[in-house]
A and B are shown apart, each in its own frame.
Chain A
Amino acid sequence: MAIVAQTSKYGKTGRTILAWAVGLLFFFPIFWLVLTSFKTDADAVKPEFLFFFTPTLDNYLNMTENYDYWRFAKNSVITSVFATVFGLAIGIPCAYSMAFNPSRSTKDVLMWMLSTKMLPAAAVLYPMTFLTKSLGLFDTHFMVILVLCLINLPIVIWMLFTYFKEIPKEIIEAGQMDGVNTWGEIKEILIPLAWGGIASTALLCFIFCWNEAYWTVRLTTIDASTLSKLIEGNRAPEGLFFGRLSAVSAAAVGPIIVLGWFCQKQLVQGLTFGAVK
Chain B
Amino acid sequence: MSNRTLPRLLQSPAVLLLLVWMLIPLSMTLYFSFIRYVLNNLRRPEWTTPSLSNWRGFGNYEFVLNSKDFLFAIQNSLFIVCSILFLTVSLGILIAVLINKTFPGQGIVRVLLISPFFVMPAVNAVLWINMILDPVLGLQGIAVGGINEVISGLRDAPLIGWFFSLWPELTPISFRATQTSAYAVIIMVTWQWTPFAILIFMTSLQSEDQQQKEAAILDGASNWSMFRFLTLPHLGRPIAIVVMIQAIFHLSLYAEIEIVSRGNGNKNLPYLIGEFANNNIGAASATGIFAVILANIVAIFLLRMVGKTLME
Contact = CB atoms under 8 A, between A and B. Distances in A.
A90 B284 contact: no
Interface stretch (A56-64, A105-113, A136-144, A194-202): A105-113
Contacts of B168: none
Interface of A: 1, 3-4, 12, 15-16, 18-20, 22-24, 26-27, 29-30, 32-33, 36, 45, 47, 50, 90-91, 93-94, 96-98, 101, 103, 107, 109, 111, 113-131, 150, 153-154, 157, 182, 207, 210-211, 213-214, 217-218, 227-229, 231-232, 234-237, 239, 242, 245-246, 249, 252-253, 256-257, 259-261, 264-265, 267-268, 271-277
A97 B121 contact: no
Nearest to A211: B120
Contact of B126 (A50, A234, A272): A234
The range of chain B's interface size is 35 or more
A228 B248 contact: no
Give the 6 A-B residue pairs with the shortest CB-CB distance, closest first: A123-B288, A122-B270, A124-B25, A260-B118, A127-B28, A23-B109
B108 A23 contact: yes
Contacts, number: 297
A236 to B, nearest CB: 7
A213 B255 contact: yes
A236 B262 CA distance: 10
A182 B269 contact: no
Interface in B83-130: 95, 98-99, 101, 103-106, 108-123, 125-130
Contacts of A231: 120, 122-123, 126
A242 B130 contact: yes
A163 B108 CA distance: 27
30 contacts: A18-B98, A19-B98, A20-B109, A29-B132, A32-B127, A32-B131, A36-B131, A90-B17, A91-B14, A114-B310, A115-B299, A115-B303, A120-B270, A125-B273, A125-B277, A125-B288, A127-B32, A213-B254, A234-B126, A235-B259, A249-B123, A253-B119, A256-B119, A256-B120, A264-B111, A264-B199, A265-B203, A268-B199, A276-B203, A277-B207
A194 B104 CA distance: 34
